[in-house]
Protein backbone atom coordinates (compact mmCIF):
# COMPACT_ATOMS: atom_id res chain seq x y z
CA UNK A 1 0.00 0.00 0.00
CA UNK A 2 1.08 3.48 -0.75
CA UNK A 3 1.79 5.86 2.07
CA UNK A 4 0.00 8.66 0.28
CA UNK A 5 -3.73 8.28 -0.17
CA UNK A 6 -5.68 9.60 -3.11
CA UNK A 7 -9.10 11.11 -2.47
CA UNK A 8 -11.94 12.22 -4.63
CA UNK A 9 -13.00 15.74 -3.68
CA UNK A 10 -15.68 16.34 -6.23
CA UNK A 11 -17.26 14.96 -9.37
CA UNK A 12 -19.42 16.65 -11.99
CA UNK A 13 -20.94 15.62 -15.25
CA UNK A 14 -23.02 16.96 -18.07
CA UNK A 15 -26.41 15.48 -18.76
CA UNK A 16 -26.20 12.57 -21.17
CA UNK A 17 -27.51 13.75 -24.51
CA UNK A 18 -28.85 11.61 -27.29
CA UNK A 19 -25.87 10.90 -29.57
CA UNK A 20 -27.65 11.62 -32.83
CA UNK A 21 -28.03 14.73 -34.96
CA UNK A 22 -31.33 15.37 -33.20
CA UNK A 23 -29.74 15.06 -29.76
CA UNK A 24 -29.59 18.21 -27.66
CA UNK A 25 -25.82 18.18 -27.29
CA UNK A 26 -25.15 17.59 -30.96
CA UNK A 27 -24.68 21.33 -31.45
CA UNK A 28 -21.99 21.56 -28.77
CA UNK A 29 -18.38 20.86 -29.79
CA UNK A 30 -16.67 18.31 -27.61
CA UNK A 31 -14.01 20.78 -26.58
CA UNK A 32 -16.71 23.07 -25.23
CA UNK A 33 -18.45 20.20 -23.42
CA UNK A 34 -15.07 19.45 -21.87
CA UNK A 35 -14.33 23.03 -20.94
CA UNK A 36 -17.79 23.28 -19.40
CA UNK A 37 -17.17 20.53 -16.86
CA UNK A 38 -13.64 21.79 -16.21
CA UNK A 39 -15.07 25.22 -15.45
CA UNK A 40 -17.75 23.76 -13.24
CA UNK A 41 -15.31 21.80 -11.13
CA UNK A 42 -13.00 24.80 -10.95
CA UNK A 43 -15.78 27.10 -9.87
CA UNK A 44 -17.43 24.73 -7.38
CA UNK A 45 -14.15 24.12 -5.63
CA UNK A 46 -12.59 27.54 -6.09
CA UNK A 47 -9.62 25.88 -7.70
CA UNK A 48 -6.62 27.89 -8.73
CA UNK A 49 -4.77 26.80 -11.81
CA UNK A 50 -1.57 26.07 -9.94
CA UNK A 51 -3.43 23.58 -7.74
CA UNK A 52 -3.85 21.27 -10.71
CA UNK A 53 -0.93 19.09 -11.71
CA UNK A 54 -2.54 17.84 -14.92
CA UNK A 55 -5.83 17.23 -16.67
CA UNK A 56 -6.12 13.58 -17.62
CA UNK A 57 -8.87 13.29 -20.14
CA UNK A 58 -10.45 10.09 -21.36
CA UNK A 59 -11.53 10.23 -24.95
CA UNK A 60 -11.94 7.33 -27.34
CA UNK A 61 -12.31 8.65 -30.85
CA UNK A 62 -9.39 11.04 -31.06
CA UNK A 63 -9.86 12.42 -34.55
CA UNK A 64 -11.42 15.51 -36.01
CA UNK A 65 -12.42 17.94 -33.29
CA UNK A 66 -11.43 15.35 -30.68
CA UNK A 67 -7.96 14.99 -32.17
CA UNK A 68 -4.69 16.71 -31.37
CA UNK A 69 -4.82 16.19 -27.62
CA UNK A 70 -8.31 17.33 -26.81
CA UNK A 71 -7.29 17.48 -23.14
CA UNK A 72 -4.96 20.39 -23.75
CA UNK A 73 -7.45 22.07 -26.07
CA UNK A 74 -10.11 21.81 -23.39
CA UNK A 75 -7.81 23.42 -20.82
CA UNK A 76 -7.03 26.24 -23.24
CA UNK A 77 -10.73 26.89 -23.84
CA UNK A 78 -11.53 26.67 -20.14
CA UNK A 79 -11.07 29.13 -17.28
CA UNK A 80 -7.87 27.40 -16.23
CA UNK A 81 -4.76 29.26 -17.26
CA UNK A 82 -2.09 28.11 -19.71
CA UNK A 83 -0.02 26.58 -16.94
CA UNK A 84 -2.29 23.55 -16.69
CA UNK A 85 -1.26 20.78 -19.07
CA UNK A 86 -3.55 18.10 -20.41
CA UNK A 87 -3.24 14.56 -21.67
CA UNK A 88 -5.78 12.60 -23.63
CA UNK A 89 -5.98 8.90 -22.90
CA UNK A 90 -7.87 6.08 -24.54
CA UNK A 91 -8.91 2.96 -22.67
CA UNK A 92 -12.02 2.73 -24.80
CA UNK A 93 -15.18 2.54 -22.72
CA UNK A 94 -13.33 2.83 -19.41
CA UNK A 95 -11.33 5.92 -20.38
CA UNK A 96 -13.09 8.16 -17.88
CA UNK A 97 -12.44 5.80 -14.97
CA UNK A 98 -8.94 5.02 -16.15
CA UNK A 99 -8.20 8.76 -16.12
CA UNK A 100 -9.26 8.86 -12.46
CA UNK A 101 -7.19 5.76 -11.67
CA UNK A 102 -4.14 7.21 -13.33
CA UNK A 103 -4.56 10.45 -11.40
CA UNK A 104 -4.99 8.50 -8.18
CA UNK A 105 -1.91 6.42 -8.80
CA UNK A 106 0.17 9.46 -9.76
CA UNK A 107 -0.84 11.00 -6.47
CA UNK A 108 -0.12 7.81 -4.54
CA UNK A 109 3.27 7.74 -6.17
CA UNK A 110 3.95 11.29 -5.11
CA UNK A 111 3.66 13.01 -8.48
CA UNK A 112 1.54 16.05 -7.80
CA UNK A 113 -1.13 16.92 -5.30
CA UNK A 114 -4.26 17.23 -7.37
CA UNK A 115 -5.57 16.33 -10.79
CA UNK A 116 -8.67 16.86 -12.75
CA UNK A 117 -9.52 13.54 -14.39
CA UNK A 118 -12.47 12.60 -16.50
CA UNK A 119 -13.37 12.53 -20.11
CA UNK A 120 -15.66 13.37 -22.94
CA UNK A 121 -17.26 11.83 -25.96
CA UNK A 122 -19.32 13.60 -28.51
CA UNK A 123 -20.44 10.52 -30.34
CA UNK A 124 -22.95 12.40 -32.46
CA UNK A 125 -20.21 14.63 -33.81
CA UNK A 126 -17.25 12.26 -33.98
CA UNK A 127 -18.67 8.88 -34.87
CA UNK A 128 -17.32 5.84 -33.08
CA UNK A 129 -14.91 4.00 -35.36
CA UNK A 130 -14.04 7.06 -37.39
CA UNK A 131 -10.51 6.78 -35.99
CA UNK A 132 -10.10 3.46 -37.78
CA UNK A 133 -8.06 0.97 -35.81
CA UNK A 134 -6.05 -2.03 -36.83
CA UNK A 135 -7.85 -4.47 -34.55
CA UNK A 136 -10.84 -4.80 -36.84
CA UNK A 137 -9.19 -4.19 -40.17
CA UNK A 138 -5.66 -5.54 -40.25
CA UNK A 139 -6.12 -9.20 -41.22
CA UNK A 140 -3.02 -10.40 -39.41
CA UNK A 141 -4.33 -8.97 -36.17
CA UNK A 142 -8.05 -9.46 -36.69
CA UNK A 143 -7.53 -13.16 -37.33
CA UNK A 144 -4.98 -13.69 -34.59
CA UNK A 145 -7.28 -12.02 -32.07
CA UNK A 146 -10.47 -13.61 -33.51
CA UNK A 147 -11.91 -10.14 -33.84
CA UNK A 148 -15.66 -9.71 -33.66
CA UNK A 149 -17.51 -6.46 -32.96
CA UNK A 150 -18.48 -5.99 -29.33
CA UNK A 151 -22.16 -6.49 -30.01
CA UNK A 152 -21.34 -10.01 -31.12
CA UNK A 153 -19.20 -10.34 -27.99
CA UNK A 154 -22.14 -9.38 -25.80
CA UNK A 155 -24.18 -12.07 -27.54
CA UNK A 156 -21.39 -14.61 -26.97
CA UNK A 157 -21.59 -13.83 -23.25
CA UNK A 158 -25.34 -14.32 -23.29
CA UNK A 159 -25.00 -17.59 -25.19
CA UNK A 160 -22.22 -19.01 -23.06
CA UNK A 161 -23.90 -18.14 -19.80
CA UNK A 162 -27.44 -18.86 -20.83
CA UNK A 163 -28.85 -15.35 -20.57
CA UNK A 164 -31.99 -15.30 -22.65
CA UNK A 165 -33.52 -12.43 -24.52
CA UNK A 166 -36.08 -12.25 -21.72
CA UNK A 167 -33.32 -12.03 -19.10
CA UNK A 168 -31.66 -9.20 -20.98
CA UNK A 169 -34.91 -7.35 -21.68
CA UNK A 170 -35.95 -7.75 -18.06
CA UNK A 171 -32.68 -6.22 -16.96
CA UNK A 172 -33.17 -3.34 -19.39
CA UNK A 173 -36.68 -2.58 -18.18
CA UNK A 174 -35.40 -2.48 -14.61
CA UNK A 175 -32.55 -0.13 -15.61
CA UNK A 176 -35.08 2.25 -17.14
CA UNK A 177 -37.31 2.02 -14.09
CA UNK A 178 -34.44 2.76 -11.73
CA UNK A 179 -33.12 5.63 -13.83
CA UNK A 180 -36.56 7.16 -14.09
CA UNK A 181 -37.02 6.91 -10.34
CA UNK A 182 -33.56 8.36 -9.68
CA UNK A 183 -34.36 11.26 -12.01
CA UNK A 184 -37.72 11.76 -10.37
CA UNK A 185 -36.15 11.76 -6.92
CA UNK A 186 -33.49 14.23 -8.00
CA UNK A 187 -30.62 11.89 -7.20
CA UNK A 188 -28.48 13.21 -10.08
CA UNK A 189 -28.91 16.84 -9.08
CA UNK A 190 -25.76 17.17 -7.00
CA UNK A 191 -23.32 16.31 -9.75
CA UNK A 192 -25.15 17.02 -12.97
CA UNK A 193 -24.31 20.41 -14.45
CA UNK A 194 -26.64 21.80 -17.11
CA UNK A 195 -25.09 22.60 -20.45
CA UNK A 196 -25.68 26.19 -21.42
CA UNK A 197 -24.81 28.27 -24.43
CA UNK A 198 -22.51 31.32 -24.48
CA UNK A 199 -25.43 33.48 -23.41
CA UNK A 200 -26.32 31.37 -20.45
CA UNK A 201 -29.31 29.88 -22.23
CA UNK A 202 -30.08 26.31 -21.33
CA UNK A 203 -29.26 23.61 -23.87
CA UNK A 204 -29.79 20.48 -21.74
CA UNK A 205 -30.28 19.81 -18.06
CA UNK A 206 -31.47 16.19 -17.91
CA UNK A 207 -30.50 12.80 -19.29
CA UNK A 208 -32.63 12.84 -22.35
CA UNK A 209 -32.88 9.18 -23.21
CA UNK A 210 -34.56 7.66 -20.16
CA UNK A 211 -37.77 5.91 -21.15
CA UNK A 212 -39.79 5.42 -18.02
CA UNK A 213 -42.54 3.67 -19.92
CA UNK A 214 -40.38 0.91 -21.36
CA UNK A 215 -41.82 -2.54 -20.86
CA UNK A 216 -41.13 -6.09 -21.94
CA UNK A 217 -43.61 -5.88 -24.76
CA UNK A 218 -42.03 -2.81 -26.29
CA UNK A 219 -38.55 -4.31 -26.05
CA UNK A 220 -39.81 -7.62 -27.42
CA UNK A 221 -40.69 -5.90 -30.67
CA UNK A 222 -37.12 -4.82 -31.36
CA UNK A 223 -35.00 -6.68 -33.88
CA UNK A 224 -31.68 -8.08 -32.63
CA UNK A 225 -28.92 -5.69 -33.65
CA UNK A 226 -26.13 -8.11 -34.44
CA UNK A 227 -27.91 -11.01 -36.11
CA UNK A 228 -27.15 -9.98 -39.66
CA UNK A 229 -23.52 -9.11 -38.91
CA UNK A 230 -23.18 -12.41 -37.14
CA UNK A 231 -25.07 -14.81 -39.33
CA UNK A 232 -24.82 -13.46 -42.84
CA UNK A 233 -22.70 -10.49 -43.73
CA UNK A 234 -19.88 -10.73 -43.07
CA UNK A 235 -20.58 -13.64 -40.74
CA UNK A 236 -18.79 -12.90 -37.47
CA UNK A 237 -20.48 -15.83 -35.74
CA UNK A 238 -18.23 -18.22 -37.66
CA UNK A 239 -15.23 -16.45 -36.15
CA UNK A 240 -16.80 -16.53 -32.70
CA UNK A 241 -17.40 -20.28 -32.99
CA UNK A 242 -13.77 -20.86 -33.94
CA UNK A 243 -12.83 -19.27 -30.64
CA UNK A 244 -15.71 -20.83 -28.69
CA UNK A 245 -16.15 -24.24 -30.29
CA UNK A 246 -18.30 -25.50 -27.45
CA UNK A 247 -21.12 -23.32 -28.76
CA UNK A 248 -23.28 -24.48 -31.61
CA UNK A 249 -24.62 -21.07 -32.55
CA UNK A 250 -24.59 -17.58 -31.13
CA UNK A 251 -27.98 -16.42 -29.89
CA UNK A 252 -28.42 -12.81 -30.79
CA UNK A 253 -30.30 -11.34 -27.85
CA UNK A 254 -29.05 -7.77 -27.77
CA UNK A 255 -30.77 -4.87 -29.46
CA UNK A 256 -31.07 -1.14 -29.14
CA UNK A 257 -33.25 -1.48 -26.04
CA UNK A 258 -31.01 -3.66 -23.90
CA UNK A 259 -27.66 -2.18 -24.81
CA UNK A 260 -26.23 1.26 -24.17
CA UNK A 261 -27.11 4.04 -26.56
CA UNK A 262 -24.78 6.30 -28.53
CA UNK A 263 -24.51 9.39 -26.36
CA UNK A 264 -22.83 12.76 -25.92
CA UNK A 265 -21.45 13.91 -22.59
CA UNK A 266 -18.51 14.85 -20.39
CA UNK A 267 -17.49 14.38 -16.77
CA UNK A 268 -14.74 15.62 -14.48
CA UNK A 269 -13.45 14.32 -11.15
CA UNK A 270 -11.20 16.21 -8.76
CA UNK A 271 -8.61 13.88 -7.29
CA UNK A 272 -6.06 14.98 -4.71
CA UNK A 273 -4.00 13.97 -1.73
CA UNK A 274 -4.75 15.03 1.84
CA UNK A 275 -2.27 17.88 1.70
CA UNK A 276 -4.28 19.37 -1.14
CA UNK A 277 -7.41 19.20 0.98
CA UNK A 278 -5.60 20.75 3.88
CA UNK A 279 -4.37 23.70 1.88
CA UNK A 280 -7.57 24.40 0.01
CA UNK A 281 -9.95 23.59 2.79
CA UNK A 282 -11.79 21.16 0.58
CA UNK A 283 -13.21 18.07 2.22
CA UNK A 284 -12.46 14.69 0.62
CA UNK A 285 -15.52 12.58 -0.13
CA UNK A 286 -13.99 9.14 -0.73
CA UNK A 287 -10.60 7.50 -0.58
CA UNK A 288 -9.53 5.49 -3.61
CA UNK A 289 -8.64 2.15 -2.09
CA UNK A 290 -7.67 0.19 -5.14
CA UNK A 291 -7.52 0.40 -8.89
CA UNK A 292 -7.15 -2.37 -11.43
CA UNK A 293 -6.83 -2.91 -15.13
CA UNK A 294 -6.66 -6.27 -16.88
CA UNK A 295 -6.50 -7.78 -20.32
CA UNK A 296 -8.93 -10.58 -21.13
CA UNK A 297 -9.97 -12.62 -24.15
CA UNK A 298 -10.57 -10.12 -26.97
CA UNK A 299 -13.26 -12.16 -28.70
CA UNK A 300 -15.73 -12.39 -25.85
CA UNK A 301 -14.16 -9.03 -25.06
CA UNK A 302 -16.54 -7.76 -22.40
CA UNK A 303 -15.86 -10.10 -19.48
CA UNK A 304 -13.07 -7.86 -18.13
CA UNK A 305 -15.10 -6.54 -15.16
CA UNK A 306 -14.83 -9.97 -13.53
CA UNK A 307 -11.02 -10.26 -13.36
CA UNK A 308 -10.66 -6.49 -12.91
CA UNK A 309 -12.94 -6.62 -9.88
CA UNK A 310 -11.08 -9.64 -8.48
CA UNK A 311 -7.79 -7.88 -8.94
CA UNK A 312 -9.00 -4.70 -7.30
CA UNK A 313 -10.47 -6.65 -4.39
CA UNK A 314 -7.24 -8.51 -3.93
CA UNK A 315 -5.26 -5.32 -4.04
CA UNK A 316 -7.54 -3.79 -1.39
CA UNK A 317 -7.48 -6.97 0.69
CA UNK A 318 -11.25 -7.20 0.46
CA UNK A 319 -13.95 -9.67 -0.48
CA UNK A 320 -16.86 -9.01 -2.76
CA UNK A 321 -19.11 -9.04 0.30
CA UNK A 322 -17.17 -6.07 1.68
CA UNK A 323 -18.50 -3.88 -1.11
CA UNK A 324 -21.71 -2.08 -0.32
CA UNK A 325 -22.64 -0.63 -3.68
CA UNK A 326 -21.67 -1.29 -7.29
CA UNK A 327 -21.67 0.52 -10.56
CA UNK A 328 -21.14 -1.95 -13.40
CA UNK A 329 -21.34 -0.19 -16.69
CA UNK A 330 -24.36 -1.31 -18.67
CA UNK A 331 -22.67 -1.53 -22.04
CA UNK A 332 -24.90 -4.51 -22.74
CA UNK A 333 -27.35 -6.28 -20.46
CA UNK A 334 -25.35 -9.52 -20.54
CA UNK A 335 -22.26 -7.78 -19.14
CA UNK A 336 -24.07 -6.89 -15.94
CA UNK A 337 -25.94 -10.21 -15.78
CA UNK A 338 -22.58 -11.96 -15.96
CA UNK A 339 -21.22 -9.78 -13.15
CA UNK A 340 -24.24 -10.57 -11.00
CA UNK A 341 -24.00 -14.30 -11.61
CA UNK A 342 -20.23 -14.54 -11.21
CA UNK A 343 -20.10 -12.65 -7.93
CA UNK A 344 -23.54 -13.44 -6.59
CA UNK A 345 -23.90 -9.74 -5.84
CA UNK A 346 -27.41 -8.67 -4.98
CA UNK A 347 -29.13 -6.83 -7.84
CA UNK A 348 -30.33 -4.41 -5.19
CA UNK A 349 -26.79 -3.14 -4.79
CA UNK A 350 -25.80 -2.95 -8.44
CA UNK A 351 -26.63 0.04 -10.64
CA UNK A 352 -29.30 1.18 -8.27
CA UNK A 353 -29.97 4.33 -10.24
CA UNK A 354 -30.07 2.67 -13.61
CA UNK A 355 -27.22 2.91 -16.03
CA UNK A 356 -26.10 3.23 -19.60
CA UNK A 357 -28.96 1.14 -20.97
CA UNK A 358 -31.33 3.84 -19.78
CA UNK A 359 -29.15 6.93 -19.97
CA UNK A 360 -26.60 6.13 -22.66
CA UNK A 361 -22.87 5.65 -22.77
CA UNK A 362 -20.70 8.56 -23.90
CA UNK A 363 -17.73 6.21 -24.08
CA UNK A 364 -14.87 8.52 -23.10
CA UNK A 365 -16.79 10.00 -20.16
CA UNK A 366 -18.90 7.19 -18.73
CA UNK A 367 -16.24 5.83 -16.38
CA UNK A 368 -15.98 9.17 -14.61
CA UNK A 369 -19.75 9.58 -14.66
CA UNK A 370 -20.50 6.28 -12.92
CA UNK A 371 -17.86 6.97 -10.29
CA UNK A 372 -19.62 10.24 -9.48
CA UNK A 373 -23.00 8.51 -9.39
CA UNK A 374 -21.54 5.86 -7.07
CA UNK A 375 -20.14 8.46 -4.67
CA UNK A 376 -23.39 10.41 -4.57
CA UNK A 377 -25.39 7.26 -3.86
CA UNK A 378 -22.96 5.97 -1.21
CA UNK A 379 -23.41 9.24 0.60
CA UNK A 380 -27.18 9.23 0.16
CA UNK A 381 -27.46 5.67 1.48
CA UNK A 382 -24.64 6.07 3.93
CA UNK A 383 -22.72 3.13 2.53
CA UNK A 384 -19.03 2.86 3.24
CA UNK A 385 -17.57 1.08 0.20
CA UNK A 386 -18.26 1.04 -3.46
CA UNK A 387 -16.85 -0.40 -6.65
CA UNK A 388 -17.11 0.87 -10.17
CA UNK A 389 -16.12 -1.25 -13.14
CA UNK A 390 -16.45 -1.25 -16.90
CA UNK A 391 -15.94 -3.69 -19.71
CA UNK A 392 -13.59 -2.50 -22.44
CA UNK A 393 -13.10 -3.00 -26.16
CA UNK A 394 -10.45 -5.41 -27.41
CA UNK A 395 -10.78 -7.38 -24.16
CA UNK A 396 -9.88 -5.35 -21.10
CA UNK A 397 -11.42 -4.46 -17.78
CA UNK A 398 -11.08 -1.57 -15.35
CA UNK A 399 -12.18 -1.25 -11.73
CA UNK A 400 -11.94 1.17 -8.84
CA UNK A 401 -12.78 0.59 -5.18
CA UNK A 402 -13.60 3.58 -3.03
CA UNK A 403 -14.45 4.09 0.58
CA UNK A 404 -16.09 7.04 2.30
CA UNK A 405 -13.88 9.25 4.37
**Residue numbers at the binding site for another protein (CB under 8 A):** 129-130, 132, 136-140, 142-143, 146-148, 233-239, 241-242, 245-249
Any idea what the Cα angle at residue 121 is, between residues 396 and 191, rounded to 5°? 95
The burial of 209, by beta-carbon neighbours within 10 Å (0-12 exposed, 13-18 middle, 19 or more buried), is given as buried
**Cβ count near 223 (within 10 Å):** 9
**Which one, 161 or 311, has the nearer CB to another protein?**
161
Task: Considering the complex, state which of residue 61 and residue 309 has its C-beta at the smaller distance from another protein.
Answer: 61
CA–CA dist 314, 296 (Å, integer): 17
Judged by CB, which is closer to another protein: 218, or 247? 247
Candidates 93, 168, 252, 255; catalytic one:
93
- Taking the complex as a whole, the smallest distance from the CB of residue 241 to another protein amounts, in Å, to 6
Task: Please name which of 379, 392, 391, 390 lies closest in space to residue 402, comparing C-alpha atoms.
Answer: 379
The residues near 133 (Cβ < 8 Å, ≥ 6 apart) are: none
Closer residue to another protein in complex, CB, 215/232: 232
| Least gap, CB of 244 to another protein (angstroms) | 8
- The question of whether 398 is a catalytic residue gets the answer no
Closest distance of CB 144 from another protein, Å = 9
CB of 358 to another protein, least distance (A): 30
Would you put residue 112 in left (φ > 0), alpha (ψ -120 to 50) or beta? left
The Cα 245–Cα 310 span in angstroms is 27
In sign, the C-alpha dihedral spanning 317, 319, 321, 324 is: positive
For residue 313, give every residue at least 6 positions away whose Cβ sits within 8 Å of its Cβ, in sequence order, or none: 290, 319, 320, 322, 323, 387, 401
Residue 147 or residue 332: which is nearer to another protein going by CB?
147
Please say if 361 is a catalytic residue.
yes
Q: DSSP string of 14-70?
A: PPPEESSTTSGGGGS-HHHHHHHHHHHHHHHTT--GGG-SEEEEE-S--SGGGTTTH
- Cβ proximity to another protein: between 152 and 328 the closer is 152
Q: 175-189: buried (b, 16+ CB within 10 Å) or exposed (e) per residue?
A: bbbbbbebbeeebbe
- For the CB of residue 141, give the shortest distance to another protein in the complex, in Å: 9
Residue 147 contacts residue 234 (beta carbons within 8 Å): no
Task: Let me know if 168 is a catalytic residue.
Answer: no
C-beta closer to another protein: residue 140 or 217: 140
Secondary structure class of 242 (helix, strand, coil): helix
Tell me how far, at minimum, the Cβ of 149 lies from another protein, in Å.
Answer: 8
Q: Catalytic pick from 168, 252, 254, 391? A: 391
**In the 3-class helix/strand/coil scheme, how is 173-235 assigned residue by residue?**
HHHHHHHHHHHHCCCCCCCECCEECCCCCEEECCCCCCCCCCCHHHHHCCCCCCHHHHHCCCC
CB of 299 to another protein, least distance (A): 11
Residues with catalytic function = 93, 361, 391
Amino acid sequence: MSEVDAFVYDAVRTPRGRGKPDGSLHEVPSVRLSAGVLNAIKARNSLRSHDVEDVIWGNVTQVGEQGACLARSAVLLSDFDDGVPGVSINRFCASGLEAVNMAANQIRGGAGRAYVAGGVESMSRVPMGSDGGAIAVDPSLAMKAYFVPQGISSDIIATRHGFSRTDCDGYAVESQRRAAKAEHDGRFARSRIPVEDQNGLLILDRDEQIRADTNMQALGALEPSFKVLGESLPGFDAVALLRYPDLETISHVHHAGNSSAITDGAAAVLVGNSEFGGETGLRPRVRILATAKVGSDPTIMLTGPIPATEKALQSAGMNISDIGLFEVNEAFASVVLLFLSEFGASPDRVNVNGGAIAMGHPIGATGAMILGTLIDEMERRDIETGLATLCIGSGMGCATIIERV
